[in-house]
Structure 1
Amino acid sequence: MHSTRAFEGIENLFGKDGFGKIRKAHILIVGLGGVGSWVAESLVRSGVEQISLMDMDEICVSNINRQVHADSESIGKAKVEAMKTRLLTINPELKCHLYFEFYSQKTAHTILEEKYDFIVDAIDSVKNKALLLDTAVKNNIPILCIGGSGARLDPTKITINDLNKSINDKLLKQLKRRLRRDYSFSKFKEKKFNIPTVFSTELPLENNEMEECELKTNRIKNCQSGLGSASFVTASFGFTAVSYILRRVSEREL
């Protein structure tokens, strides 16, 4: 592969030194759904040469509307495997590590076994989301939190701010409550969490169904129901996240 030519636009954008840091970064994405899959795609198209993917879900037909690795040929496949297959067509030299498991108390040790330059939290479960954030913060691993992308239509309302500043997001509201209650985060609502978070200020549409897919078993998500969602929003969440991460990794001014 002509890797130099493939990513010369990124190098021109960030400069030689900045792009060198991007190439060497190792980034872990936890959750390969409507946002996490686009994060993986954009990172690799931006020249990142090593990523780790964690998810235990399988692709189903209802994922096609918003997940980049979902298509008629990938239905039934593990998301991590389908994502790796796609990413290797972009950069055959990519180092892509797979963890076919959900992040939980039982698997929390996984992120401490490798050195990551950044972690992307794209988990739907409040309990496991809080655990991941707490683990990363305690171990000084840079992490970016992703809020809810369902039931929204306007990608221009997506922003990044401290988790404490998030609004109009039930997932993040519950997350903040759990972090204050179960972990060593300040109970003063005015104090920052120091966790950068991608969220939308748009009010979620009313009369939507359940909040994301509930776990049908401990392994596979129920694909029969969930919030209304569209790729033009979920992808925008992912691209916003990658913009932040690459600027941090390359040490460009934010």
Structure 2
Amino acid sequence: MITEEGIFDRTEKLIGKSGLEMLQNSRVILFGVGGVGSFAAEGLIRSGVGFLTIVDKDVIDPTNLNRQIMANVKTIGKKKVNAMARRLIAINPLCIIHPMYECYTPENSGIFHLEDYDYVIDAVDMVTAKIDLAVKCQDSKVPLISSMGTGNKLDPSLFGITDIYETSICPLAKVMRKELRNRGVESLKVLYSREEPVVRENPPGSIAFVPAVAGLLMAGEVVRDLLKAKKIV
């Protein structure tokens, strides 16, 4: 029989019962269930986060097989959020997964109720969505972590997490810095790479281990921030 005690016995040894209970009561929303987002989602659920909304309006195709954790030959053609939700519930049947087959835009941002969450994760590609999420989360005072570019990269050891205004090299981060300054966004926690692009392909080239590491780093940062917010670690 599956119980939370059995699933998270090793986790409780690390963060204590109060830490585990806090994670189980935390609400996280994740935008983008691709190479980065899918690994972030699984990292959160395996860490004990009890409520996760996943947002993406795309279906799995063969080009996703090299880097997206829910992508396999049996899930091709399926909605990413539904395939991801089934995988996560199979890991922890006691968690609550809310899949939303939607694309975040400034125009429909109200349907996501960001203020109801303890943390927001941005793993989308669209710059307009990333900028609007940063503005809305600052206005709502909801913690946000945003992924910068992970494509055309080969060395995951060069990822780091810092404020957007401390970034360099990453072309997406450069665009984001300018646009966020123009909108009065004072800070934004981001994951970015210090690696120069290996190639400059569009759509970008990718390999299994780079977005996976990025997603797990983001999940780890979210979990630690949630624990710190409750003074557990």
With the length of structure 2 as denominator, give the TM-score of the two structures: 0.94
Matched, 1:231 2:208: yes
Can you list the C-alpha shifts for 1:208-246, whole angstroms capped at 9, x where unaligned? Answer: 311xxxxxxxxxxxxxxx211112110100111111111
Secondary structure of residue in 1 paired with 2:75: coil
Query: Which residues of structure 2 form unaligned runs of 5+?
Result: none
Q: Is the 8 A contact 2:24 2:50 kept in 1?
A: yes
- 1:4-153 matches, within 5 Å, as 4-112=5-113, 115-153=116-154
Q: Counterparts in 2 of 1:155-194, with a 5 A limit? A: 155-181=156-182, 183-185=183-185, 193-194=186-187
* Counterpart selection for 1:195 from 173, 185, 188: 188
Distance 1:253 1:123 in 2: 30
Q: Distance in 2 between matches of 1:17 and 1:2?
A: 17
Q: Deviations over 1:108-164 (max 9, x none)?
A: 002326610100011111111100111011110111111111111111111110011
Asked if structure 2 preserves the Cα contact closer than 8 Å seen for 1:66 and 1:235, the reply is: yes
CA RMSD, Structure 1 to Structure 2 (Å): 1.5
Corresponding residue of 1:249 = 226
Question: In the alignment, residue 109 of structure 1 is paired with which amino acid?
Answer: G
TM, length-normalised to structure 1:
0.86
The structure whose residues are more often helix, as a share, is 2
Aligned equivalent of 2:197: 204
Shift of 1:5: 1.4
Cα distance in 1 for partners of 2:119, 2:111 equals 14
Q: Contact between 1:120 and 1:144, CA under 8 Å: does it hold in 2? A: yes
| Deviations 1:172-198, CA, capped at 9 Å, x for gaps | 2112222223x223xxxxxxx321111
Pair 1:108–1:85, CA change in 2 (3 A): same
User: 1:230 corresponds to which letter in structure 2?
Assistant: I
Counterparts of 1:77 and 1:180, CA distance in 2: 39
Indicate conservation of the 8 Å contact 1:19/1:250, yes or no: no
Identity, in percent, stands at 32
Q: Which residue of 2 aligns with 1:220?
A: none
Q: Where do 4+ consecutive residues of structure 1 move more than 3 Å?
A: none
Output one character per residue of 1:51-81: Cα deviation in whole Å (capped at 9) or x when no partner. 0011101111000101101110111111110
Instruction: Give structure 1 stretches of 5+ with no counterpart.
Output: 186-192, 211-225
Distance 1:235 1:253, change over 3 A: farther
Letter in 1 for 2:158: K
User: 1:128 & 1:234 partners in 2: Cα distance?
Assistant: 19
Cα distance, 1:195–1:113 mapped onto 2, change above 3 Å: closer
